[in-house]
């Protein structure tokens, strides 16, 4: 039995590293992988650098800008987002609801008429009453046309479930709601405003997004790799690891996905166990390709709402930084969501993605694929269903009562940006520093 540390951190992803960075007390980090980063990692294949899906730093707070500038120094630059939607065979700028210029006139009319109807008859559509589910929220905010042509097909594709099963607490800050005046400007091709939390983003010049977690290592020490927590005893405040090693703690910070954390805790109350088993999530099959042709796109990423395309999003890593692909080439990442509600045929999906990239005109059948990397991400998005709020609250109350701080996108079980994750790590460190 190793002597106890005041604070144990499980997981050396972005939230765990940020917490350690700001801690002023004795701590040790235990990471199940062979290197730090969690999902904030990059892989090198045949000269290409691929991230574990699109990981971009949309930073608003000055303290966070200061942090990443100190960590990454000159290996960091700021870009303006180039995000688009591909539907009806046409590219329109993101977000769809503010940029429908160029779509077929019938589609434009349905979107505008539906929005006008909902905005001018607010009483009739009970707009001031809280929507009962995400689907109703879409109709209330955007009307029938936008719901039909983008909002419902795209979100059903991403979340893998009927939208009636989803609640709405996650929507704030993630889905822009333009005014009718702004929508009309976008319909005429006169949109001057940018929308959303991700208008600009920081990204490392070299090395991919993993440069960020790696940059913590000059300040964050006592990291133990290749050690997976397998059992937690609340009574003894003791953690057992995959190699049989045991260590005691006073306080525990966990970035393990919330249901997995609950599962390894001994003698868990039945109420808490049931709550954690109700937590649902969406997985992502991430296919990355290196193509022997430069400048295959001038965009950063594109959303695909239509069912004929397997992926809900495709992006161009080589446009984040030219250092991520060899000269004369381009790199692409694609994301296909799946879940228990909508399983994925993983044996056939790679070929389907390539065919769909050709169908979308992104690559051609003559293009040579120089690199291919599949990253199958089990926990990608927490699913906000109608059990979500109570299930998370029950789990988190129990953990806090037992001096366990569950943080990060999957530790807190929240739909968080990278900046949100950094904020959480810092806030928990500040709480622990004050104790």
pLDDT for 435 equals: 62
Cβ contact 18:422 at 8 Å: yes
104 has pLDDT over 90: yes
Please write the tens of the pLDDT for every residue from 130-147: 789 999 999 999 999 999
For 9-18, 99-108, 188-197, 289-298, which range has the lowest pLDDT when averaged over its residues? 188-197
Domain boundaries, the chain: 2-40+206-278+387-433, 97-188, 280-383
Residue 127 has pLDDT above 90, yes or no: no
Given a cut of 80, whether residue 129 has pLDDT beyond it is no
Q: What is the pLDDT of residues 228-270, one digit of tens each?
A: 999 999 999 999 999 999 999 999 999 999 999 999 999 999 9
Mean pLDDT of 265-277: 96
Q: Please tell me the distance from the alpha carbon of residue 11 to that of residue 8, in angstroms, as a whole number.
A: 10
pLDDT-derived band at 173 (thresholds 50, 70, 90) equals confident
Q: Report the CATH fold assignment for 280-383.
A: Polyamine Oxidase; Chain A, domain 2 (3.90.660)
| Cα–Cα distance for residue pair 248/236, rounded to 1 Å | 8
- Crossing angle of helices 134-146 and 152-159, in 10° steps, is 140
Instruction: Please report where in the chains the tokens 């951190």 appear, as a residue.
Output: 9
Maximum average pLDDT range among 5-9, 168-172, 283-287 = 283-287
Q: pLDDT category, 25, cuts 50, 70, 90?
A: confident
Long-range contacts of range 146-152, CB-CB < 8 Å, 24 or more positions apart? 146/96, 146/97, 146/111, 146/114, 146/115, 147/114, 148/110, 148/114, 149/87, 149/96, 149/103, 149/107, 149/110, 149/111, 149/305, 150/85, 150/87, 150/96, 150/97, 150/305, 151/96, 151/97
- In this prediction, residue 68 has a pLDDT band, given cuts at 50, 70 and 90, of very high
Query: Are the CB atoms for 406 and 258 separated by under 8 Å?
Result: yes
**Does residue 126 have a pLDDT over 90?**
no
Q: How far apart are CA 171 and CA 151, in angstroms?
A: 12
125 pLDDT exceeds 70?
no
Residues above pLDDT 70, as percent of the chain: 97
What pLDDT shows up at residue 434? 87
Q: What's the pLDDT score for residue 260? A: 97
Q: What was the pLDDT predicted at 196? A: 82
Q: Which CATH number fits domain 2-40+206-278+387-433: 3.40.1190.20, 3.40.718.10, 3.40.50.2000, 3.50.50.60?
A: 3.50.50.60
Q: How confident is the model at residue 172 (pLDDT cuts 50, 70, 90)?
A: confident
What is the pLDDT confidence band of residue 174, given thresholds at 50, 70 and 90? confident
Cβ burial, residue 190 (10 Å; 0-12/13-18/19+)? exposed
Residue 401's contacts (CB-CB under 8 Å, 6 or more residues apart) are: none
287 DSSP β-pair partners:
334, 374
Q: For residue 162, report the phi and psi dihedrals to the nearest 5 degrees.
A: -60, 140
Q: Using 50, 70 and 90 to split pLDDT, how confident is the model at 410?
A: very high
Q: What pLDDT band is residue 347 in, cutting at 50, 70 and 90?
A: very high
Which residue would you say has higher pLDDT here, 426 or 5? 426
Q: What is the pLDDT of residue 215?
A: 97
**Average pLDDT of the segment spanning 370-393:** 97
| Whole-number average pLDDT of the chain | 94
Among 27, 3, 403, 411, smallest CA distance to 235 is for 403
Three-state SS annotation for the chain: CEEEEEEEEECCEHHHHHHHHHCCCCEEEECCCCCCECCCCEEEECCEEEECCCCCECCCCHHHHHHHHHHHCCCCEEEECCEEEEECCEEEECCHHHCCCCCCHHHHHHHHHHHHHHHHCCCCCCCCCCCCCHHHHHHHHHHHHHHHHHHHHHHHHHHCCCHHHECCCCCCCCCCCCCHHHHHHHHCCCCCCCCCCCCEEEECCCCCCCHHHHHHHHCCCCEECCCCEEEEECCCCEEEECCCCEEEEEEEEECCCHHHHHHHECCCCHHHHHHHHCCEEEEEEEEEEEECCCCCCCCCEEECCCCCCCCCEEECHHHCCHHHCCCCCEEEEEEEEECCCCCCCCCCHHHHHHHHHHHCCCCCCCCCEEEEEEEEEEEEEEECECCHHHHHHHHHHHHHHCCEEECHHHHCCCCCCHHHHHHHHHHHHHHHHCC
Query: Could you count the other beta carbons within 10 Å of the beta carbon of residue 355?
Result: 13
Stretch 359-385: mean pLDDT: 97
Cβ atoms of 199 and 59 within 8 Å: the answer is no
- The C-alpha atoms of residue 366 and residue 369 are separated, in whole angstroms, by 9
Residue 80 and residue 200 in contact, taking contact as beta carbons nearer than 8 Å:
yes
Q: pLDDT class for 356, splitting at 50, 70, 90?
A: very high
Q: How confident is the model over 28-39, as pLDDT tens digits?
A: 999 999 999 999
Is residue 224 pLDDT above 60, yes or no? Answer: yes
Query: Would the pLDDT of 88 be above 70?
Result: yes
| Same fold across 2-40+206-278+387-433 and 280-383 | no
């Amino acid at each position: 039995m190793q002597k106890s540390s005041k604070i144990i951190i499980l997981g050396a992803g972005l939230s765990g590293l940020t917490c350690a960075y700001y801690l002023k007390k004795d701590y040790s980090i235990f990471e199940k992988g062979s290197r730090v980063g969690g999902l904030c990692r990059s892989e090198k294949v045949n000269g290409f650098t691929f991230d574990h899906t699109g990981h971009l730093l949309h930073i608003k707070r000055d303290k966070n800008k200061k942090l990443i500038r100190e960590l990454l120094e000159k290996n960091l630059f700021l870009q303006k987002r180039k995000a688009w939607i591909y539907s009806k065979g046409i590219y329109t700028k993101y977000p769809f609801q503010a940029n429908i210029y160029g779509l077929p006139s019938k589609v434009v009319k349905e979107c505008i008429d539906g929005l006008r109807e909902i905005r001018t008859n607010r009483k009739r559509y009970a707009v001031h009453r809280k929507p009962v589910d995400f689907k109703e929220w879409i109709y209330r905010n955007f009307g029938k046309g936008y719901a039909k042509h983008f909002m419902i097909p795209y979100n059903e594709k991403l979340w893998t479930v009927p939208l009636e099963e989803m609640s709405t607490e996650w929507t704030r800050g993630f889905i822009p709601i333009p005014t009718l005046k702004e929508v009309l400007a976008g319909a005429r091709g006169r949109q001057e405003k940018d929308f959303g939390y991700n208008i600009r983003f920081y990204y490392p010049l070299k090395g991919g997004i993993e440069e960020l977690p790696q940059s913590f290592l000059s300040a964050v020490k006592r990291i133990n790799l290749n050690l997976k927590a397998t059992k937690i005893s609340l009574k003894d405040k003791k953690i057992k690891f995959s190699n049989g090693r045991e260590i005691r703690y006073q306080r525990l910070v966990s970035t393990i996905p919330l249901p997995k954390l609950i599962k390894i805790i001994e003698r868990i109350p039945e109420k808490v166990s049931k709550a954690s088993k109700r937590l649902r999530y969406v997985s992502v099959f991430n296919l990355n390709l290196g193509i022997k042709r430069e400048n295959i796109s001038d965009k950063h990423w594109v959303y695909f709402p239509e069912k004929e395309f397997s992926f809900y999003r495709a992006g161009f890593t080589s446009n984040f930084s030219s250092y991520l692909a060899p000269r004369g080439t381009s790199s692409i990442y694609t994301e296909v969501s799946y879940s228990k509600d909508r399983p994925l045929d993983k044996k056939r999906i790679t070929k389907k993605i390539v065919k769909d990239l050709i169908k979308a005109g992104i690559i051609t059948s003559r293009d040579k694929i120089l690199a291919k990397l599949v990253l199958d991400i089990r926990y990608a998005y927490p699913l906000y269903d109608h059990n979500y709020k109570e299930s998370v609250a029950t789990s988190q109350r129990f953990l806090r009562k037992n001096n366990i701080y569950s943080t990060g996108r999957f530790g807190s079980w929240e739909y968080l940006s990278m900046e949100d994750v950094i904020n959480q790590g810092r806030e928990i460190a500040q709480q622990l520093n004050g104790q």
